């Protein structure tokens, strides 16, 4: 199994850290992982994206043009990456701030209203974890227990008290994700 993912949005939305948590989770379940960020000047206040690959085999290219899954968190990223989802693949997005919704009919499209939900909970910091929950529901590759293990390993101990909030955010995301187009 190899899963090739692009996560794209604004700098500050937690795009890179969400990718990092996915990569850590992959390690926790004995997979090969790679995490390749965009590190250009566009990161400062602009768009940010990261390519994450989880695989049972040695990973070849960490840089890709087509993805099994695209997780899209702003309009610029939708414009850039909608066409890069492999036919039959998954596009998961937060409709907040999206004016041109995806039009492809050969991919599975899901929405997760993570921004609205995070605002409702008054916890904007866990926005990305709600999105991650949505992803974990539609593509159950990483197990929740491994995500939690990954968080414990990647976060300094002084932040471990926030792990329950993150876990809650993931289960929330799993609950609110909805499919809007099926191949």
Partner 1 sequence: MEKELRLMKGNEAFAEAVIRAGADGYFGYPITPQSEVMEYLMAEKPEERTGMIVLQAESEVASINMLYGGAGCGKRVLTSSSSPGISLMQEGISYLAGAELPCLIMNAARGGPGLGTIQPGQADYFQSVKGGGHGDYRIIVIAPASVQEMYDSAKIGFDLAFKYRTPVLVLTDGATGQMMEKVYIGEQHPRLTEEEIKEKYPWATTGKSGGRERNIITSLDLDPYRHEKHNIKLQEKYKTIEENEVVYEEINIEDADFAIVAYGTTSRICQKTMQLAHEKGIKLGIFRLISLWPFPKKEIRELSKKVKGILCVEMSAGQMVEDVRLNSVDGAHIQHYGRMGGVIPSPTEIFDFFEKNYIKD
Q: How far is CA 152 from CA 146, 149, 172, in A?
A: 10, 5, 20
Q: How far is the CB of 134 from partner 1 (least distance, A)?
A: 23
Rg of the chain over all Cα atoms, to the nearest angstrom: 15
CB closer to partner 1, 44 vs 100: 44
CB of 159 to partner 1, least distance (A): 17
Residue 60 DSSP class: -
* Residues near partner 1 (CB under 8 A): 20, 23-24, 27, 32-37, 39-41, 59-66, 154
Identity of the residue, 37 or 175, whose beta carbon is nearer to partner 1 in the bound complex = 37
Minimum distance from CB of 21 to partner 1 (Å)?
10
User: Closer to partner 1 at the Cβ: 57 or 103?
Assistant: 57
The full DSSP string for 68-123 is EEEEE-SHHHHHHHGGGEEEEEEEEE--TT-SS----SSSEEEE--HHHHHHHHT-
**Euclidean distance between CA atoms 83 and 139, whole angstroms:** 20
- Of residues 20 and 137, the one with the C-beta less far from partner 1: 20
Looking up tokens 């539609």 gives 138
To the nearest whole angstrom, how small is the minimum distance from the Cβ of residue 13 to partner 1? 19
């Amino acid at each position: 199994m190899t899963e090739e993912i692009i996560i794209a949005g604004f700098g500050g939305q937690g795009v890179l850290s969400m990718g990092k948590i996915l990569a850590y989770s992959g390690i926790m379940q004995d997979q090969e992982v790679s995490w390749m960020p965009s590190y250009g000047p566009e990161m400062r206040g602009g768009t940010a994206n990261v390519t994450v690959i989880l695989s049972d085999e040695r990973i070849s290219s960490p840089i890709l043009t087509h993805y099994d899954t695209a997780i899209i968190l702003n309009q610029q990223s939708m414009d850039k990456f909608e066409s890069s989802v492999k036919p039959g693949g998954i596009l998961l997005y937060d409709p907040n701030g999206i004016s041109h919704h995806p039009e492809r009919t050969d991919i599975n499209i899901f929405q997760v209203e993570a921004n609205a939900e995070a605002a409702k909970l008054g916890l904007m910091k866990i926005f990305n974890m709600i999105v991650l929950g949505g992803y974990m529901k539609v593509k159950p590759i990483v197990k929740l227990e491994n995500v939690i293990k990954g968080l414990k390993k990647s976060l300094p101990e002084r932040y471990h008290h926030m792990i329950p909030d993150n876990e809650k955010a993931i289960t929330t995301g799993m609950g609110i994700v909805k499919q809007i187009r099926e191949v």
